[in-house]
Structure 1
Amino acid sequence: MDNLRKGFPVLEQYIYLNTAASGLLPEKVWEFRQGHDMDFLIQGSILKEKQGELLAKVREAVGRFFHCEPNRVALVPNFSYGFNSFLESVPADSKFLLLKDEYPSINWPVNSRNFETVFAEINETLEANIIEKLQAEKPDYFCFSIVNYIHGIKLGFDFLKKLKADFPEVSLIADGTQFCGTEDFNFDESRIDVLISSAYKWMNAGYGNGFMLFNHEIQKKISPKHLGFGSLQGKYKTHEGNFIGKFEPGHQDTLNYGSLKIAIELIEKIGISSIQQQIGHLKNLARKRFMKAEIIEKWMGEREDFSSIFNIKGDEKLFKKLRENDIIVSQRGNGLRVSMHYFNSEKDLNRLFSVLGI
């Protein structure tokens, strides 16, 4: 799969197993960004006269890729902005179910608004813990990451669909930042009410761009309040009830959102099925070796649904050793987070295994 590595110069210098921290910038996206700013330098406002057309194409690309009508796609700079905007839209007496040790950008904004909040434990009975809390506490919203940022635990879509069928009154609000771009995903079939994601990780779109996907039902339940001149600018806003415009109150950055469009087109050119297959191959190899060496939690390794993010046992000394061998990972939680994307290879993993001595 060496052809999948083309266009990522970082891979010529490092074994990059750190997409969970920051995705790489593909040459195709870099070329777009160079051209865009050159046009802005030369054309000034003439370029910006076309921004409505460009942003409509970005929205359509996101909708096409994730199987969601473009009039239900909002373009936001990152997950945190979108999630905070969402929280400003819900009634003050709402009740939330969260996961303990979840991504801080989920739990902190909820807690800061003093919503009534209950928590489910992340452990070997995660799904049962969630169901128990839903039955006992009857929250209005369940907010969660599809893939957890520390140890890569994934909530499967069969489980989420059953959850929605059994608890239809609970709105599912998902963070897709550690998931989107790793496999084919049909939003409308997922039964998730709102999916919010930054695109700088697994979609390799650079920083400053993200998106929100809404189903039809949630639009009847929340009342977004953000408004500005941008709320009525462009296709899908002025004649669609202005729902998504309330998540886009200001001027949108054509450089960053244009980068998202190019990144999606690159994924589509490679083929999301090919990407999913390569990631699946690598994560299966890694899981077997990590479990044999007993450097990941046994229950995590035995889960049916799992991602290509692993938290292996390791300290500062091992982190420095890996960096000295040009292997890039992150320190997260109580260990080292290793994450592999489609541009990684068996050779990368074998080098990691060798340095780890497993």
Structure 2
Amino acid sequence: MTSVIDHDVPAPSWFARQGDLIMRRPFNEWTFTHMNWLLPTERVARGPLHRPLPDRHRELALTYRFDGAELSLADLHRRTFTTAFVVLHRGALVHESYPGAFAGPRSRFQLFSLSKSLTSMLVGIALAEGAIGAVTDRVTDYRPDFAGTAYADATLADLLAMTSGVGDLEAWDVPGTDIKRFEEACLGRGSVEDVLRSARRHAAPGQHFNYSTLDAQLIGWVLEAATGMSLARYAAERLWSRLGADRDAYYWLSRSRPRTAIGGGSFNATARDVARLGLLMARDGVLDGEQIIPRDWVRRAGVRDVPHLAVGALGPSGYDHYGYANQWWTLDGGAFTGLGVHGQYLFVDPAADVVIVKCSAWPTEDDPDRDRETVAALQAVTARLSGRSVSLVA
């Protein structure tokens, strides 16, 4: 199994100049399904075996309650700019819709920070294989070139929990912040590595949650150093080729050299294939009797006993209805979700055996109200399918 750079010509010069514009509506509905037209990419090959999802489509005629109103799924899609919506229950495809103008079952969606959750899955595989020794290993055990930086004392566990203590508050709309410098470097204006090396420490490792794409990027680099493979190749060989996926996936790569995948934000795949990842997480990492991801690692996504990572305790870089564990956002009731800016969700409720993928094209990167509404709707879908009550975010 190999992974190749499919597209390595420079992106149009206007892309770097108009990066903010094409991430806004209405342009972003096209952008989020055509990243491979705009940036270099590296393929994540699906492998020879295809496992179709069992098809048990049904009409989901339900309502959810938000801000005192009873709303339908059609309302959700209109109000939160849904582009794809895929629901699995007990491993079967029970509902699917593609409201996006450029969306369909074969469309590959830009998943943004939902990529972080995939990177975590790959770390679990690398630990089981022995490529990574332990989560208590320091970053510098794999990337000694980070000695002397703010990351010198951080462990892999610190990065996975977003408690490295490095970096400022992730504010996309504030010029000069670490995340804006990171974004600009990805588009070719500066060095991605320089952004991480110059980030400053604001707290001791392991003490406070601060959501950080820089932390996730470093996890990806540790993984590449440990395995001797690019992120895309490792994902293909150890995970994607074993899923029975519908299509190849891909990472887009930075325009700046050396080219690098953005482990915290550049994975693209079909909504059904993202649901397959969620199914693995709902089933303790097992697919057709084969342990793809270690069970103990999958269960780390549900950890809720760390006080500063508990639901409601994350502080200014997390919403009140979330906690955090191992690159996943946790919710009351046992569910957890991968999240990406502009409204990307991989929602997993293992107890209900429900997986929901929602791709979106929000006008802005973050939107607390649209997030709360989305979670309320996803919980309502879960309650309908499972026949049990859930803790609703209202």
Taking structure 2 as the reference length, the TM-score comes to: 0.22
Taking structure 1 as the reference length, the TM-score comes to: 0.24
The structure that is helix-richer by fraction is: 1
